[in-house]
Amino acid sequence: MPAVETPSITIQLDGQPHTLPAGSTLAALAAALGHAPEGVGTAVNGGFVPRAQRASHVLAEGDQVLLFQPIVGG
pTM: 0.86
The answer to whether the Cα torsion of 58, 62, 67, 70 is positive or negative is: negative
Q: Domains in the chain: how many in total?
A: 1
Calculate ∠ Cα 55-31-63, nearest 5°.
65
Question: Would you state the torsion angle of the CA atoms of residues 26, 31, 34, 35, taken in this order, to the nearest 10 degrees?
Answer: 60
Domain assignment of residue 16, given as a range = 8-68
Quote the pLDDT of residue 70: 76
- Domain annotation covers residue 34: yes
Q: What is the CATH number of the domain that holds 17?
A: 3.10.20.30
- Domain annotation covers residue 41: yes
Quote the pLDDT of residue 22: 97
- Domain annotation covers residue 18: yes
- Domain annotation covers residue 1: no
Tens digit of pLDDT at every position of the chain (74 positions): 666 778 999 999 999 999 999 999 999 999 999 999 899 999 999 999 999 999 999 999 999 999 998 776 66
- Domain annotation covers residue 73: no
